[in-house]
Amino acid sequence: MITINQWHVLKSAPHRVMFLGGALQTLAVMLWLMAELLTRYGVFMQPINWTIAPSYAHAYLMIFGMFPLFMFGVQMTTFPRWMKGVEIPQMLYVPAFVLLMLGAVGFYAGLIVSQSLLIISVGCTLAGWGFILYALMRVLLDTPPQDKRHPKVIFGALYLGWCCQFSYFVFLVSDNVSWIRFSIEGGVWLFLLPIFATVSHRMIPFFTSSALPQTQMKSSFLALWIILGSSATHCLLDFNGSYTWLWLCDFPLALAAIYLSYSWKFGRSLKVPMLAVLHISFAWLSIAMLLFTVQSMVLFASRGSTFIGGLAPLHALTLGFFATFLIGMATRVTLGHSGLPMTADQPIKIMFSGIQLAAFLRVLADLIPMENHQWLYFAAGAVWLGCFTPWVVRYLPVYLKQRADGHPG
């Protein structure tokens, strides 16, 4: 139980409440998925009769359940600092947190109880998300004219994320699968990828130049526009079923990501562990898009008759890039905003290495044809839990304590 004093500390900064919720979701999402996989493949018990298809539930939890809470924590902290604006008040982020957590708990309950409860829970999450958008929009509008390209792109992607979640809400109400197709495709390509790519573009050069002061940094906005435009094009082509033409946008995206990794001094960054975490995670974007490119080109060459790789490219993107960048940024923000030393000790290195292994195992499960490939699914999930559980145990109490350096926040 959280004491009154701990609650006052917890709500003293937006990253505290949002990261606490995100940390719990990193475990809850994977525990649900492991329960679904183990029962589906008959390892124990009978398959659970969820109120919606498990694939739809999995997509929702990964896109709208886990990542956004960490995103909100980061953006509600960094937006005012990037633009020298007024800090976001508790009256906006605390109600948002409460609604988001009610939505999260309600969704798990709804998967067992009824689809009506799912509708209510998604409605709560949409309302909490709305508070976040309003808070960030106020910062954007109330700060003086300056370079706001990164914040504007992030805000736009968050708004599109809200629209994609609303599409999921409409699916639950109508059972029209077109809505959930847009929700899932848009959630990945119009929401998650643009935000992770834009935050990387803003923060990786900044952290690199701070850790390696003699390094000249180049961060091309043209490369970012190519990534964002290619991601939107992929979404449109995918939703239209034009899978044989995806390479036209996936390959330029991969080249832009490779160029940024090169210009951000990927090799030199590996000497600084806390910095290497972010660079390695961004490198997964190149890997994922090259896999998407090969997959689409094989479809193109075979006139749509040969599909290779399965979901390997998607998991390279979501687990390789999104999840590993998430733990890197969450660790940095947690340490930096708690007055703790900004160093990657052995446990952090092991956790990050484990997430790389989880991503590799999940990608491998689709790349290599083999019998009983579900054991690779189990292994990836077990490694994920084995890494994130110690992370949560280690950092969850930090959000309930005053900063170690005595500063506010």
CB count, 10 Å around CB of 267? 9
Cα separation of 193 and 183, whole Å?
Answer: 14
- Residue 408 domain-assigned? no
pLDDT of amino acid 307? 87
pLDDT of amino acid 234? 98
pLDDT of amino acid 349? 87
Cα separation of 286 and 283, whole Å?
Answer: 5
- Residue 217 domain-assigned? yes
Residues of the chain predicted below pLDDT 70: 409
In a 13 Å sphere around the CA of 113, the CA atoms on its Cβ side amount to: 12
Cα separation of 88 and 218, whole Å?
Answer: 31
* 351: CB partners within 8 A, 6+ apart: 327, 387, 388, 390, 391
Among the listed residues 349, 351, 356, 407, the one whose alpha carbon sits nearest the alpha carbon of residue 380: 356
pLDDT of amino acid 340? 80
Cα separation of 164 and 183, whole Å?
Answer: 4
Which residue do the tokens 């390279």 mark?
Answer: 316
* 74: CB partners within 8 A, 6+ apart: 15, 199, 329, 333
* 42: CB partners within 8 A, 6+ apart: none
Tokens of 277: 């975490």
Angle value at C-alpha 211, between 209 and 215, nearest 5 degrees: 40
Secondary structure element (H or E) that encloses residue 125, with its range:
helix 115-142
Angle value at C-alpha 101, between 100 and 107, nearest 5 degrees: 90
Q: Can you tell me whether residue 104 is helix, strand or coil? A: helix
- Residue 97 domain-assigned? yes
CATH code where residue 21 lies: 1.20.210.10
* 195: CB partners within 8 A, 6+ apart: 71, 154, 157, 158, 161
- Residue 405 domain-assigned? no
Look at the chain and report how many structural domains it folds into.
Answer: 1
In the chain, the amino acid numbered 29 is: V
pLDDT of amino acid 276? 92
Tokens of 82: 């990037």
The conformational region for residue 147 under phi > 0 = left, psi -120 to 50 = alpha, else beta, is beta
- Domain region containing 52: 4-400
Q: What backbone phi and psi angles, to 5 degrees, belong to 247?
A: -60, -25
- Residue 407 domain-assigned? no
Cα separation of 145 and 374, whole Å?
Answer: 53
pLDDT of amino acid 7? 87
Largest Cα–Cα separation, the chain? 64
pLDDT of amino acid 248? 97
pLDDT of amino acid 75? 93
- Residue 84 domain-assigned? yes
Angle value at C-alpha 16, between 211 and 274, nearest 5 degrees: 20
Q: Under a CB-based contact definition with an 8 Å cutoff, are residues 122 and 97 in contact?
A: no
Query: Which ranges of 175-219 would DSSP assign to H, the alpha helix?
Result: 177-186, 193-211
Cα separation of 218 and 264, whole Å?
Answer: 7
Cα separation of 262 and 291, whole Å?
Answer: 19
Q: From residue 285, give the alpha-carbon distance in Å to each of 32, 60, 406.
A: 26, 21, 38
Q: Can you tell me whether residue 68 is helix, strand or coil? A: helix
Q: Summarize pLDDT for 128-162 with one digit per residue, the tens.
A: 999 999 999 999 998 888 889 999 999 999 999 99
The conformational region for residue 247 under phi > 0 = left, psi -120 to 50 = alpha, else beta, is alpha
